Amino acid sequence: MRLEDKTVVITGAASGIGRSTAERCAEEGARVIVTDVDTEGGRAVAETIEDGGGDAEFHELDVTDSDQFHAVVDAVAADDGLDVMVNNAGTGHPAGSLENLEDDIRDFVIDINVKGVWNGCHAALPHLKEQGHGAIVNVGSLASILGLPKQSAYSMSKGAVLNMTRAVASEAGPYGVRANTVCPGFTETSLLDQYLEDQEDPEKARERMIQQYPLKRLAEPEEIADAILFLASEESSFVNGHGLVVDGGFSA
């Protein structure tokens, strides 16, 4: 098992990519700490893992709350140790030109997508550096490397995640700690559904989107979870500061 006896903290794990990542890590032997603001969904994920013979527990966590983030990570590290921090929690915003995007929407996106990842790194790094090993996996986006039209705040936030990860990798590498980013293309999650709902014709918008991918389909959450698992495990032991694009060839 690739994560046997490892403790993995995952944010935004109540659904989508986070849930699939929690389930994959548990299958690979990890003790999984499921965190989310969605307490009902988060507990359900932890219970599903436990019912399947895995090891999981749930902690309510608002990633924009630095004090709460530190409290959760410190408690987990004290009780179970900490080996992997997966900063997955994220949000999008309705499509709109930059000049028409309201400040509160921009700030909401930055608070979750950028400050939330910052808070996760800030809370985890002292423990990982002190023990001399560990991995941080941040979830970026295709928008980390491409500027998506009418998604200026989202693109800005995900670009920041990738470059912040590079900075963390440079700083923490000498302590034996790796940091990488997974950059998914459009994935079949509730975030995608919200994006499509904002389009004039959601079905036509979905079909246009699919046609832009050489594989002629969108990603499944499990496929992104497999990429996260790779970066969390020792199979990627010499991968550091990297943005792993998982987009079905879109950016090609």
Mind telling me the catalytic residues? Answer: 154
State the Cα–Cα distance between residues 181 and 162, nearest whole angstrom: 6
State the Cα–Cα distance between residues 110 and 108, nearest whole angstrom: 6
The secondary structure of the chain in percent helix, strand, coil, rounded to multiples of 5, reads 50, 15, 30
DSSP-assigned beta bridge partners for residue 35: 59
Residues 6+ away with beta carbon under 8 Å from 244: 180, 181, 182, 183, 227, 230, 231
Q: How long, in residues, is the chain? A: 252
58 membership: H or E segment, kind and range: strand 55-60
State the Cα–Cα distance between residues 162 and 242, nearest whole angstrom: 8
Which pair of structure tokens corresponds to residue 217? Answer: 């389909």
Q: How do beta strands 55-60 and 243-246 pair?
A: unpaired
